[in-house]
Amino acid sequence: MKVGNIVFEKGLFLAPMAGVSDVGFRSVCSDFGAEGCFSEMLSCRAMLHNPSKTVLMTIVEPNEKIKIGQIFGHEPEIMAKAVRNPLLDKYDIIDINMGCPAPKVVKNGEGCALMSNVCLAEKIIKACVENTKRPVSVKFRLGKDKDISLEFGKMCQEAGASFVTLHARTLEQGYSGKANYDAIAKLSQSLEIPVIGNGDVVDKQSYNRMLTTGASAVMIGRGAQGKPWIFQEVLGQTFDGDKYKVIEKHLTILRKYYNEDWLKLYMRKHFLWYTSDLKFAAEARLKLATTQNLDESMEILKQLLK
Ligand SMILES: Cc1cc2nc3c(=O)[nH]c(=O)nc-3n(C[C@H](O)[C@H](O)[C@H](O)COP(=O)(O)O)c2cc1C
């Protein structure tokens, strides 16, 4: 897949996941072949003041290959301002979130709510494209309660988007049911710009199924949780390396930027995902879910994974 002069050789993307795809996680996913890494979604309104929380979310590691900053909002002028914000200078591509189903986002007319307001969505894309020299992409769903992805994708293309990502579920579906791969196939056939297929890729088999849609590239979200090596596995390389070392790297990067009190709670979910396939580890995993000390957690993980 090619976007301007940016070439994606493998066509593998790590999905934006608020509260999950932190800088440490993106870095270990990059080690295993995630070529394009999306940031967690960044509020354009918050970027008017650059609060420390947003600044932290824009930190990137040198080994992240193609860096994509994802923004969300509903006001074209404020979004235009955001894409000019020096905080986003490090990103190769700016992505606009038009797929988030979270009620607090949708009720502001942002995220997937924009699929029900196509005129505004179009204004936002045009405002962003006009205010940056970098490629602008759009990530969206099928629609609110029915599939309008084809019309919506065409609008994005006309408005100047360089590529789109389709998470093939409706807003109403949330994360239930199955992603509609036929819709991804139809969109890929109909647009001239590349389409990234997204939804339910969790292993080599589902990755191969996604490739049959003709999508130009594949995005993986939940399938990478606790399993950043999925990016090499879908390409046929099994991972038999040291899982503990992967977790240690993930944590070491985060420790450079975040305080221990916050991290010890934040990392619990990652630790549980990293150990979710271990049998007979219920007691140790319960400790991981409750301990107040990261060094203790790492000791438990060392014992579990040795
Ligand atoms: C915890 C979590 C947070 C997410 N945050 C975002 C986000 O910030 N921006 C976005 O566009 N999508 C977000 N998503 C959606 C994912 O990017 C992706 O579209 C969805 O999980 C489907 O892909 P998957 O089946 O590979 O997980 C999030 C999903 C999850 C599970």
pLDDT, one tens digit for every residue, the chain (306 residues): 999 999 999 999 999 999 999 999 999 999 999 999 999 999 999 999 999 999 999 999 999 999 999 999 999 999 999 999 999 999 999 999 999 999 999 999 999 999 999 999 999 999 999 999 999 999 999 999 999 999 999 999 999 999 999 999 999 999 999 999 999 999 999 999 999 999 999 999 999 999 999 999 999 999 999 999 999 999 999 999 999 999 999 999 999 999 999 999 999 999 999 999 998 899 999 999 999 999 999 999 999 998
What's the CA-to-centroid distance between 224 and ligand 1, angstroms?
11
Q: Which of 137, 122, 128, 188 is nearest to 4 (CA)?
A: 137
Torsion of CA 4, 169, 186, 120, to 10 degrees: -60
Ligand 1 atom 4 nearest Cα: 17
Size of the chain, expressed as the number of residues it contains: 306
Of 137, 236, 121, 145, the C-alpha closest to 196 is 137
Closest atom, ligand 1, to C-alpha of 219: 26
Verify whether ligand 1 is closer than 6 Å to residue 57 (CB atom).
Answer: no
- From 38, 53, 167, 231, the mutation candidate for ligand 1 (largest count of ligand atoms within 8 A of CB) is 167
Span from the CA of 15 to the centroid of ligand 1 (angstroms):
6
Residue 156 known to be catalytic: no
Is the distance from the beta carbon of residue 200 to the nearest atom of ligand 1 less than 6 Å? yes
Specify the pLDDT at position 187.
98
Q: How far apart are CA 25 and CA 258, in angstroms?
A: 14
Ligand 1 neighbour 270 (Cβ under 6 A)? no
Q: Check pocket membership of 138 for ligand 1, CB cut-off 6 A.
A: no
Rounded CA-CA distance 85/63 in Å is 23
Q: Cα(188) to centroid of ligand 1, in Å?
A: 20
Classify domain 2-233 at the CATH superfamily level.
Answer: Aldolase class I (3.20.20.70)
**Does the global pTM surpass 0.85?**
yes
Is the distance from the beta carbon of residue 20 to the nearest atom of ligand 1 less than 6 Å? yes
Domain boundaries, the chain: 2-233, 243-305
Q: Is 167 in the pocket of ligand 1 (CB under 6 A)?
A: yes
Q: What is the pLDDT of residue 306?
A: 85
- Please answer whether residues 114 and 98 qualify as being in contact, where contact means their C-beta atoms are separated by less than 8 angstroms: yes
Catalytic option among 29, 100, 112, 156: 100
Joined together, the tokens standing for residue 17 give: 């996941």
Helix (H, G, I), strand (E, B) or coil at 57: helix
Q: Is 159 helix (H, G, I), strand (E, B) or coil?
A: helix
CA-CA distance, 190 to 206, in Å (whole number)? 23
